[in-house]
Amino acid sequence: MKVVRPYGDTMDDGKVQLSFTLPVPDGAKGREAARKLVLSWGFKDCEVVHSAPLAAEFSFYVAYGKTESSIDYDSVVADEASADASMSMDEVNEYIRRNIGRKVVVVGACTGFDAHTVGIDAIMNMKGYNHHFGLERYPEMEAYNLGAQVPNEKLIDYAVKVNADAILVSQVVTQKDTHIHNMTEFIELLEAKGLRDKFICVAGGPRIGNKLAVELGFDVGFGRGAYADDVATFVVKKLAEKN
C-alpha cells in the first residue's frame, strides 16, 4: 500500500489550487462563502487568495486548500488504451504479414454532425500527426477515411461494402453528451443488423476514454495524444485473437 497525497513543497502537505465562480456578489461575504465551500469538500485549511467580480451577482475565486485525504496508489488501475506498449508502423506490418496474412481493412469517420476532421485525419491520413504516419501509409492495411459529418448508417454500409475488419469512429463535440448519443446509436445499429461481431469497433476523440468507449459497447477508446501506431497495434492484435 502506497499512500499518496498532493504535494506542494513538502511530502504530504496536501496542497491543492482551486478556482471557481459563485453566483453571489464579490466581497468579504463571498470570500468567506468560498472558503467554507472549500472546507466542505474535506479540505482542512483554505485560503482564498483572490476574488473578483464577474457581474453584479457573480464572483470569481482562487483558493489554496490543504487536504488530508489520500489514495492508495498501488490499488489504482490505469485504464487507458495507452501508447506505452504500441508497436511501430514497421512492426505492425510485420505482425500482419506473420499473423494475419492478408491486408487489414479499416474504415473511419467523424460521425453525426461532428465536423472535426483533424482528429480522424491524424489517425488515418498519409501524413499522420506529430511524426507518426497515418494508417493510409501502412502497406499491409487498406484504410478508408470518410471524413466528417458522416451518418452512422452510411459508415456501416460502407464498412460492409469494403468488407472491413475495423470501424473507427471519431467524436470531438461532447456538449450535451452528443458523443454518447452518436456512439450508442452506432452500436445499436450494428446490433440491429446483426453485425456487431463482424467488426472491431474503435472510438476516439479528445474526451473519449477507454472506459467510456467500452461501456458504450466499443472494443476500445482512444483519447487525446493517440497515434495511428496505437490504433493499429490494438486492431491487429485483436484481429489475430479473433481468428
122 lies in the site for ligand B12, by CB under 6 A: yes
Active-site residue, from 2, 36, 44, 127: 127
176 touches, from its own copies, ligand B12, another protein, none (C-beta below 5 to 8 Å by class): another protein
128 touches, from its own copies, ligand B12, another protein, none (C-beta below 5 to 8 Å by class): none
Residues near another protein (CB under 8 A): 7-10, 15, 17, 19-21, 47-50, 52, 54-56, 58, 60, 62, 64, 113-115, 117-118, 147, 149, 173, 175-176, 178, 206, 224
- Secondary structure E strands in the chain: 3-4, 15-22, 43-55, 58-67, 71-72, 104-110, 141-145, 166-170, 200-204, 220-222
Cα-flanking dihedrals φ and ψ of residue 118, to 5°?
Answer: -60, -40
205 touches, from another protein, its own copies, ligand B12, none (C-beta below 5 to 8 Å by class): ligand B12
30 lies in the site for ligand B12, by CB under 6 A: no
Burial of 203 (0-12, 13-18, 19+ CB in 10 A): buried
Cα-flanking dihedrals φ and ψ of residue 75, to 5°?
Answer: -85, -5
154 annotated active-site:
no
Question: Hey, which residues between 78 and 117 contact ligand B12 (CB under 6 A)?
Answer: 108, 113-117
28 lies in the site for its own copies, by CB under 8 A: yes
Cα-flanking dihedrals φ and ψ of residue 63, to 5°?
Answer: -140, 155
